[in-house]
Amino acid sequence: MKFGKEFKAQMVPEWQDAYMDYNFLKTLLKEVQRFKQRNRPPVTPNRGLKRKMTLYRAFSGLTRHNSPPSPSESDIESQVILVNLVRRDGDGSDSYETKFLMSADEGGEYELVYFRRLDDEFNKVDKFHRSKVEEVMKEAALLNKQMDAFIAFRLKVENPQGWFDKSAELTRISNDVATSTATLAATTPSGARASRRVAHMDIIEEAGSISNHEQSDESSDELKDVNMIKPINTSVQEQKPSSIKATRPAPLEVLKRVRINNTMETPRSTIKEILNVPKPEEMNFTRKNLRKVEDQLKRAFVEFYHKLRLLKSYSFMNTLAFSKIMKKYDKITSRNASKSYLKMVDNSFLGSSDQVTKLMERVEATFIKHFSNSNRTKGMKILRPQARKERHRLTFSLGFFAGCTAALILALILIVRTRHLLDYEKENDQYMENMFPLYSLFGLVVLHMLMYAANIFFWRRYRVNYSFIFGFKRGRELGYRVVLLLAFGLAVLALACVLSNLDMEMEPKTKEYEALTELLPLGLVVLVVVILICPFNIAYRSSRFFLLTCLLHCLCAPLYKVTLPDFFLADQLTSQVQAIRSLEFYVCYYGWGDYKHRQNTCKSSGVYNTFYFIVAVIPYWSRLLQVSPFLFSSKLCGLRGLEERY
C-alpha cells in the first residue's frame, strides 16, 4: 500500500481537516517534475567505441579512504533552504517560514510555491497539535481532582468512623498490600524472593491536596507539571515499617465540596426536578454511590486514554508524512533540503513534545492500580480494547443462511403459483387475510436489519466513527456482517414456518386446523423475545441489552435523559408502525382463539379498531415527548433569567 492511502486510512475522522494535505503537496511536486522533464536537454548518444565499463574502470586501491567534502561544498549543499522561527505577538502563536535560496534557478518559482504551501501545512499541524495538548492537560488536571475525591470517597466508605488512629490504620493497609503482593508474586519464579520484602504504599501528601477553596481554584495551573496524576502506587521495595509516614492516604476535606451530578437521568430524579424537590445537602457515603462514581470515572479514564492515543497517532503520522514528502522532493529535484527541514520538524513542538507519552504512562499506572486491582493485563484490555476479528465461520454462516433464504423464497413463490393461493375465486384467501399479517412482522424486521447493515457498511467505508457517536462499547459493536447474519437467520426461520403452514390441511369433520401447527408464528415470536431478553452471555448480550435499554428510554420518555441512541431508535420506530400493528394482530388472533379456524373477527371488533390507531400513535408520541424536555428546559431557563433580571 502506498503511503498516501495508508496516511488517509490512519486519519481520525473528526480531525481530518487538521492533517497535512499530503496529496496536494504531492501534486505540487509533480508539477516541478513535469517542468524539469520539459526543460531537460536531450541526451546525445555516444557513437564512439563501446566498451564494458567493468573492464576499463580505474582502480582506486583497497586502502584509500573517502576524503571529506570541502567546507565550500558542504556550505553549498546546506544552503538550499533556511527555516526560521517567526515570533508573532498579535495572536501569541509562533510560525515557521522557509526561505528558498535557489529561486533564481530555472523553475525555482514552482519550488517556491511548494515550500510556501509546506510551511502553511506544517504551521497548521503544529498549531492544532499544540492546542490539543493544552486541552488534554486541562482535562488531566480535572481528572486529577476527581481522582483525589474518588480516593477520599472510597476511604470514607470503607471506614465511616474516620481516621482515629492514623499509624495503626496505615500499618493495617500496608500489611494488606504486602499480603496481596505476596499472593500475586507467588506465581512468578522470583516470587519467593519478592515475598520476603516489605510492601509499602506511596501516600498522597497532605500539602498536595485541596484544603480550601483558594487552593482548589489555583490547583489547575499547578497540576500541569510532572505530577499530573498522582496514583496510590503499591510497590515492592526493601523498607523498614517505621519509615511509613503517619499521614492519611487521601485528603478527606475534599469531600466537603463534592457533589454527585444526577440530573434528569432516572424517572425518580426527573420527577424531583420537575416538582422542585430540595436536594439533600449531605452526600450519602454508600457502596452503591461508590460503585456509581467508580463506573463513571472509569469510563472517563478510558475515553481520555483513547484521546491520548489518537493524539499520539496524529503526531506520528504527520511527522512521517513530512519526512516522506521531503524525501520525495529531494528525489525529484536532486537537492539535499530534507535534512535541514526535518531537523526543524524534530526540534518543533510537534516532534519534540513528550507530554502526551508521559501522560499516557501516568494514566495507565493510575488505572491499573485503582480500577483493575493492580492487574496490568486486565487494565490494558480495558484501556486498549481489541476489535473483534471476523472469523471464517462468520463468513461461511452468512453465505449459508443467505443461500437458504434465497432457496426458501424461490420455493415459496413456486408453491404459491402452483396452488393458486392468490386466486380469491377458489376460497384460498384465508391465508392471505390471516397468516400473511402474522409473518409480515418478520419481513419488516428483516428488511429493517438489512438497511441497518447497509448503513454500517457505508459508515465504515467513509470512516464515520459511528461506535463513538452512538456510545457503543468500544470493540463490542456489531459489524455489518453480523447484522446480515442475524437478518438472514431470522429470515430462514420465518420462511420455514411459512412453508410449514402452507402444508397444513383442515380437518373435514370439525372444520378446524391443528392447534399445534397453527402456533408456529406465535412460537417464533416467543423465541425471538426470549433470545432478546436472555441474561446469559450468548448471542451478543451487550448489544441486546443496549437495544433494550434504548427501547425502555423511548417508552418512558421524557423521564430519562435523552441521548442520541434513544431518539435515533425512536425515529426508526416511526417507520415500523405496521410491524407494531402486527403485534396487536397477534394478540387478537391468538387471544380470541381465531387461530383454530384460521379466521379472524378482529376487524369487526370496536376495541381492536380503536387500538389499531392508538398503537400507531405510540412511536410518534414517544418522539414528541423526547423533544418536550428541551422545550420545557429552555422556557424554564428563560423564566429564571427574567426573574433574576427584574
Show the cell assigned to 436.
400473511
Q: How many CB atoms neighbour CB 331 within 10 A? A: 12
Nearest Cα neighbor of 19 from 309, 320, 307, 308 is 320
- pLDDT at residue number 246: 39
SS3 646: coil
193's grid cell: 524472593
Distance between CA 487 and CA 497 in Å, rounded? 16
Cβ proximity of 295 and 371 under 8 Å: no
Give residue 228's pLDDT.
37
| d(C-alpha 248, C-alpha 167), whole Å | 9
Instruction: Give me the phi and psi of 82, to 5 degrees please.
Output: -130, 125
What Å distances lie between residue 134 and 121, 302, 383, 459, CA to CA?
20, 19, 22, 31
Q: Give dist(CA 350, CA 333) in Å, integer.
A: 27
Determine the pLDDT at residue 475: 73
Contact predicate 436/523, CB 8 Å: no
Question: Which is nearest to 6 in space by CA: 317, 327, 461?
Answer: 317
Instruction: Compute the distance between CA of residue 598 and CA of residue 26 in angstroms, rounded to an integer.
Output: 71
Query: Any alpha helices (H) in 505-605, and if so which ranges?
Result: 515-518, 520-532, 541-555, 564-573, 577-591
**Cα–Cα distance, 603 to 584 (Å, whole number):** 12
- The C-alpha atoms of residue 359 and residue 361 are separated, in whole angstroms, by 5
Q: What is the pLDDT of residues 288-321, one digit of tens each?
A: 888 888 888 888 898 899 999 999 999 999 999 9
Which residues, other chains included, contact 33 with Cβ-Cβ below 8 Å and sequence gap of 6+? 332
| Residue 285 φ/ψ, nearest 5 degrees | -90, 75
State pLDDT tens for residues 613-625.
Answer: 999 999 999 989 8
Strands (E), 227-312: 234-237
Buried b (16+ CB within 10 A) or exposed e, 359-378: bbebbbebbbbbbbeeeeee
Q: Within the chain, which residues score under 50 in pLDDT?
A: 56, 59, 63-65, 70-74, 76-77, 89, 163-170, 173-174, 177-250, 263-264, 426, 632-646
CA distance 89 to 93: 7
Say which amino acid occupies 119. D
CB atoms within 10 A of CB 629: 19
The pLDDT of residue 210: 34
Q: What are the grid coordinates assigned to 76, written together?
A: 553549498
CA-CA distances (angstroms) from residue 140 to 15, 214, 221, 227?
21, 20, 11, 11
Which residues make Cβ contacts (< 8 Å) with residue 84, sequence separation at least 6? 96, 97, 98, 99
Please report the pLDDT score of residue 91 as a whole number: 54
Q: How far apart are CA 276 and CA 562, in angstroms?
A: 20
Smallest CA-to-CA distance from 498 within 484, 526, 485, 517 is with 517
213 burial type by CB count under 10 A (0-12 exposed, 13-18 middle, 19+ buried): exposed
What is the model's pTM?
0.67
**What's the pLDDT at 227?**
36
Which amino acid, residue 88?
R
| Rounded CA separation 123/134 (Å) | 16
- What is the rounded CA–CA span in Å between residue 586 and residue 589? 5
Helix (H, G, I), strand (E, B) or coil at 191: helix
